[in-house]
Amino acid sequence: MNGSMSTSTHGGERTDRKGFTLLTTALLAVVLIGMAGMAVDIARMYIAKNEVQSFVDSAVLGATLELDGSEAGLTRARSQVTSNPNRWNFATQVVSNVQTEFAQDPNGPWESSPASAGGYKYVRVTATVAVPMLFMPLVTSGSWGQPVGMLVLSTTANVRSDSAAGQISKFSFNEGLFPFSPLAHDAAAGPHYGLVPGERYTFRWAANPRLDTNTCPGDNLQSMIDLAQMGGGEERGFIESASADIIRASIEEDYQSVVRDVGDSVTMSGGAKQTQLDALLNRINQDTDNTSMTYTDYMAAGTGNGRRLVGAPVNTGYPDYRIVQIGAFFLLPASEYNAGGNAPFCAEYVGSWIQGSDNKAVDASGAFIARLVK
């Protein structure tokens, strides 16, 4: 009987241990599954965060390139944000909860609808997405709006990202500048150094320029003709290598063989005039609007891609040819350059230039680039 009782007791202990092990295993399995589920949800949030950050970064840079100090520029900037192609949730969903704001200073204040567009050259974009949470609500409370242990098939966590960019002054270029350098009319008078926005100035002078005969309107002054000829030679304005390949690359592809800084000097060179003309016509035809006569017409049409708006160094002329500023110039229709390689090349002075944009910049003059500031 004692043996029988002993067997029963030991059997009960084994059964208790098995039950405890089973219960412990089940609890640990729940914990492990919960932790794995939380890891999945957290990973989804991190992925969404990166996707939304990519959206706001690209959107704010595109918007910054549209600002030109006008109400139309603000409208174009907003449109750049709403039409941004980047998506989230593995590129399957549009980022719809977006706010666009503008400022004159990188530290704000930020405004969605400024009373006047003047001076607003910074953009901030904020975007929020609701990421579905599948596991986290099962093991958390309060912050998700559900009590612990309540089975919830799906709830969401808001993921927010923001980014800001602005038009930042740029004084040094290793690519992107057009290989012609117009002459300043007043080397000491910024911001335009004697140039007048809307007027046409000389990119390349004709051979033997003469007053009222073969000069661009803005340079049709004997003083400017004399300045252009002081250094000798019949052709002035082109500032790149005379190699035909480099002539084409510098005009058509924004190539530079040397770094150019404001304050440095340019070296005038000749080069094949017909090659320059052929490349110039190709550059004009790269633009989706190659017919507008003026920059104002070009902006009103709204169909161009910016290839006719170029940044060129403006220099002081003989003897030092010092660069005083980088300005935006608008190339004329191809028909305006059909007089041959020895005729002058004229271009309309626009004012400030922002690299990579088909608009002028917000400030009156100078060169700029769109940069993230946050």
pLDDT digits (tens, 9 = 90+) for 218-234: 999 999 999 999 988 76
Instruction: Name the pLDDT band for 146 (thresholds 50, 70, 90).
Output: very low
**Token reading at 17:** 């241990």
Task: Yes or no: say if 264 and 315 are a contact pair by the CB < 8 Å rule.
Answer: no
pLDDT at position 142 over 50: no
pLDDT at position 108 over 90: yes
Q: Please give the pLDDT value at position 191.
A: 92
Reading phi first (left if > 0) and then psi (alpha if -120 to 50, else beta), residue 208 is in: left
Q: Please give the pLDDT value at position 14.
A: 58
Q: Please give the pLDDT value at position 271.
A: 81
Q: Please give the pLDDT value at position 344.
A: 92
pLDDT at position 363 over 50: yes
For 273-278, what is the mean pLDDT?
91
Q: Please give the pLDDT value at position 153.
A: 43
Q: Please give the pLDDT value at position 273.
A: 86
Q: Please give the pLDDT value at position 43.
A: 82
Q: Please give the pLDDT value at position 339.
A: 73
Three-state DSSP class for 203? strand
Distance CA 297, CA 299 (A): 6
Three-state DSSP class for 259? coil
pLDDT at position 4 over 60: no
| Lowest-confidence region among 15-24, 39-48, 74-83, 349-358 | 15-24
For the stretch 20-77, pLDDT in tens is: 666 666 566 555 555 555 677 788 889 999 999 999 999 999 999 999 999 999 999 9
What is the side-by-side order of every strand in the sheet holding 309-315? 200-204, 345-351, 323-331, 309-315
Task: Yes or no: say if 269 and 301 are a contact pair by the CB < 8 Å rule.
Answer: no
pLDDT at position 7 over 80: no
Distance CA 261, CA 62 (A): 26
pLDDT above 70 covers a percentage of the chain that reads 83
φ/ψ (deg, to 5) at 311 = -100, 125
For 236-257, what is the mean pLDDT?
95
Three-state DSSP class for 363? coil
Q: Please give the pLDDT value at position 149.
A: 39
| Lowest-confidence region among 72-81, 132-141, 180-189, 210-219 | 132-141
CA max distance for the chain: 134
Hunting for tokens 């690299």 — which residue is that? 355
Task: Yes or no: say if 314 and 322 are a contact pair by the CB < 8 Å rule.
Answer: no
pTM of the model: 0.84
Tell me the average pLDDT of the chain. Answer: 88
φ/ψ (deg, to 5) at 271 = 85, 160
Instruction: Name the pLDDT band for 343 (thresholds 50, 70, 90).
Output: confident
pLDDT at position 330 over 70: yes
Quote the Cα angle for 257-262-263, to 5°: 110
Q: Please give the pLDDT value at position 210.
A: 92
